[in-house]
Structure 1
Amino acid sequence: MRSPAAPGAPGAPGAGSPVAAPLRIGPIEVGTPVELAPMAGVTNASFRRLCRCYGESALPGPPAADGPITTPGGALAAPAGLYVTEMVTTRALVEGNARTLAMVRPDPGERVRSVQLYGVDPLIAGRAVRILVERDLADHIDLNFGCPAPKVTRRGGGAALPWKKDLLAAILRETVRASEAAVRAARRERQVPVTVKMRVGIDAEHETYLDAARAAADAGIAALALHARTARQHYSGAARWEFIARLKEASRIPVLGNGDIWSGDDALEMMRSTGCDGVVVGRGCQGRPWLFADIVAALHGSSARTRPDLDAVIAVIREHGRLLAAEMGQERGVRDLRKHIGWYLKGYPVGGPARAALARVSTLAGLDAELAAMRERLPESVPYPGAAVEGPRGRAGAPKRPHLPEGWLDSPYLTDGQRAGLLAAESDVSGG
């Protein structure tokens, strides 16, 4: 059965014909072409489980038992999409960092174990891939070339890295080769495909996405996801979906689009207007894991949408807290939940004092008590607020000058000095 139950979900979408074809990524059949984007501090096993359960609640047909399932043709099935871990650094994984190993630990119910890696050293990246494959920790590996965070780009990683064509090509080749070799060594039943998530480029004068797509296809990468913003934009302004359309037209491998998907209808519109093969959802699901029910329903031709009242949202908060406590321990889990509570309650008229009290909870009992106290002060019925909880979420901010290594933009190829700095680049973010 789909567990846990998804409060407020629409249930089976009823009549309707799928409007999006299944997506094939190596030996994985993504029945509904949607992916939960890796988000630092967000997409841990508990949140992935909530999102997946909501997505699966909107699938047509009877529910399937938790865990891996296969298609009649033997493919590994992801009926409601892929749900990817937080970004983990390749060096931390190779060094056996305990926190990093915990981050790649899957939820037992996951259909496909998708792990995202960040790294700037091709050999270390290859070793990290071999660990994931040989230890049977992943079915799908994604490479991060899209992170705009200064602590990453100032060392030449994330969205800055594709500017260096030689470095990008080396990482792509080494990770694909390592995955294939590790599959043979471990005698795994299926290949473990490697995919890429990237941005349009560093800024408008330094676009990298088309060259990166060609390099990815040449290296054997299985699919590409494009966030339709530059590193300079961070999350500001509107995502420019026309770049996704251009990539789809030019690419020899499947393309997923990312940026400004806040609803099921947005997912439909992105696929219609760009021709992309699937969609990637990030900030839109913060405090709204039921967005995956809406997207799955929409891509299966249903108009069913999730519109939870406050009581349904409170039930999700409690379930999320329970899952986090089981995953991390009560103290750390409840602390992690605090940021989600603000997102969950966005648009609901609960009042500032209640929000402040919930931001200080430290135990599940305290969480229950504050939620109950908040609810008692409100009317008997607090319906779904509509537009107040929809649309952009999280901090969009303003465009920011990218933080890059000295002389990074002088040439699209590494200098000897930049190559020597790769070790520091990974050490700087080691541990996650």
Structure 2
Amino acid sequence: MTSPRKPHLTLGTLPVAPPVVLAPMAGITNVAFRQLCREHGAGVYVCEMVMTRALVERNEKTLRMITFASDEHPRSLQLYGVDPTTVRKAVEMIAAENLADHVDMNFGCPVPRVTRKGGGAALPYKRKLFAQIVEAAVQAAAPAGIPVTVKMRIGIDDDHPTHLEAGRLAQEAGATWVALHGRTAAQRYSGEADWSAIKNLKESLQIPVLGNGDIWEASDALRMMSETGADGVVVGRGCLGRPWLFADLAAAFTANPTRALPTLGEVTTTMRRHAELLASWLGTEQAGVVDFRKHVAWYLKGFPVGGDTRRALATASTLTDLDNHFTHLDPATPFPTETLGKPRGRTNSPGKVTLPHGWLDDRDDDTVPTAAELEDSGG
């Protein structure tokens, strides 16, 4: 394992040690999953992305999404917005009502329903609009001392890279740090992340740069920081079905080679805990267990569990259902080490990025796209 640097990453006045951030993932990084991850290791754990307009309008779903545990600190909230005015109102609301301690701005989402409105990974191409949005967030957050960070991708596609200019603009606007996913929007989650882009961005900025993309193991985090000079890492798909990855990361950054390789019995205990936390957050056991279903395949990846049992767990509706199906598993089954270092979660093929009509015509056009703000949160 690569020897760790001694990083000095801070978020406002808060030291971030180890320098690890949980990436926002729609439908995943709710208060229940964040609590489960926090129980394994330290870092910054960001909630699901929420829309600025939905927040300002106090959309019931959005307000539930920004729930934080009483002992969660810092409370990190990721915003998506395309209109600087709405972004400013949303951050002013966060500051005035003490809704979060940290605001992360999303400029990396490649989902078509986001990019077709000019948002997410499409937005940094419009450099003036991008700068206005970051400035609005920073200015609105400043009186409350709330740090604002930026997460983005390399660009729309290989022909339209934006990360170096966007990084500079974010720095000039007062962003605390910039996190870069080493893929373009067109790559989506295919292929390999380009860590050299993270290195180039780090070399061009004075503020901290965090790297994101293909961190499947703690050793990947150390290697990324060594190869790129990044000040920290952002972990997304690598922790799906493996919240104990944060224990591995905490150990790795103290030069401890210990890693968590739970038996199947220990994994099912974690699965049960996850379902319980979801039930508590969503208000009913059935809602929690149904929401948990999406996690079953990730937790059981590589374990010799038959298809019938997998299907039964993925269609359970109560905690008792889960318990009954767990009895068919051998708790002593060792962790499948052949899955280590392999991609987890969604993988897909590259594709053309869906953009508003004429989006690429003028980089300095700062017109807010018509009906830019989505009606719902997530993505």
**TM-score normalised by length of structure 1:** 0.85
Aligned-residue offset at 1:414: 2.4
Instruction: Report deviation, 1:315.
Output: 0.3
In the alignment, does 2:244 pair up with 1:290?
yes
Question: Of the candidates 215, 220, 226, which is equivalent to residue 266 of structure 1?
Answer: 220
SS at match of 1:222: coil
In structure 2, the partner of 1:248 is 202
User: CA–CA distance in 1 between the matches of 2:151 and 2:369?
Assistant: 25
Q: Secondary structure at the match of 2:48?
A: strand
Within the candidate set 253, 267, 275, 1:299 is matched to: 253
Give CA deviations for 1:305-359 in whole Å, capped at 9, x if unaligned.
0001100000000000111111112122111100111100010001100011111
- Alignment match of 2:33 (pick from 28, 33, 47): 47
Q: Establish whether residue 427 from structure 1 lines up as the match of residue 374 from structure 2.
A: yes
- Aligned pair partner of 1:195 in 149, 161, 186: 149
Separation of aligned partners in 2, 1:130 and 1:257: 29
Deviation, 1:22, is 2.9
Instruction: Give the alignment of 1:27-106 within 5 angstroms.
Output: 27-55=13-41, 80-106=42-68
Structure 1: how far apart are the matches of 2:81 and 2:250?
32
Q: Shift of the alpha carbon at 1:387?
A: 1.5
Distance in 1 separating the partners of 2:199 and 2:151: 16
Q: How has the CA–CA distance of structure 1 residues 216 and 415 changed in structure 2, closer, same or farther, with 3 Å as cutoff?
A: closer
On the 8 A contact 1:89/1:429 being kept in 2, the answer is yes
SS at match of 1:141: strand
For residues 226-248 of structure 1, the C-alpha deviation after alignment (integer angstroms, 9 at most, x for no partner) is 00000000010000100000000
Stretch of structure 1 that moved more, 242-251 or 382-391: 382-391
Shift of 1:368: 1.3
Q: Percent identity?
A: 53
Aligned to 1:349: 304
Matches within 5 A, 1:8-407: 19-55=5-41, 80-181=42-143, 183=144, 191-329=145-283, 330-372=285-327, 374-375=328-329, 378=330, 381-388=332-339, 390-407=341-358
In structure 2, C-alpha distance between the alignment counterparts of 1:335 and 1:46, rounded to whole Å = 14
Unpaired runs of 5+ residues, structure 2, are none
Provide Cα deviations, 1:30-80, integer angstroms capped at 9, x if missing partner: 12100000000000011101111111xxxxxxxxxxxxxxxxxxxxxxxx2
The code of the aligned residue for 1:341 comes to V
1:428 Cα deviation from its structure 2 partner: 4.2
CA RMSD of aligned residues (A): 1.5
One-letter code of the match for 2:32? S
Give the whole-Å Cα distance in 2 for the aligned partners of 1:214 and 1:207.
13
Distance in 1 separating the partners of 2:35 and 2:374: 30
Give the Cα–Cα distance (whole angstroms) in 2 for the partners of residues 325 and 368 of structure 1.
15
Is 1:265–1:298's contact at 8 Å kept on the other side of the alignment? yes
Equivalent position of 2:361 in the other structure: 410
Number of aligned positions between the proteins: 376
Q: 1 CA distance for matches of 2:248 and 2:260?
A: 6
Question: How far, CA to CA, are the matches of 1:324 and 1:22 in structure 2?
Answer: 34
Moved more, 380-389 or 316-325: 380-389
1:191-244 deviations in Å (ceiling 9; x for gaps): 110000000000011001011011111111100000000000001000010000
Q: TM-score, normalization: structure 2?
A: 0.96
**Residue 420 of structure 1: CA displacement?**
4.9
Contact 1:51 1:292 in 2 (8 A): yes
Q: Which runs of 5+ in 1 are unaligned?
A: 1-16, 56-79, 184-190
**4+ residue runs over 6 A deviation:** none
- The one-letter amino acid paired with 1:366 is D
Q: Distance in 2 between matches of 1:312 and 1:393?
A: 20
Supply the distance in 1 between the matched residues of 2:121 and 2:216 (Cα, whole angstroms): 23
What is the distance in 2 between the residues matched to 1:405 and 1:127? Answer: 24
Q: Tell me the SS of whatever aligns to 1:197.
A: strand
CA deviation profile, 1:163-193 (whole Å, cap 9, x unmatched):
0011101101111111123x2xxxxxxx110
- Measure the CA separation in 2 of the matches of 1:415 and 1:385: 51
Q: Secondary structure at the match of 2:259?
A: coil
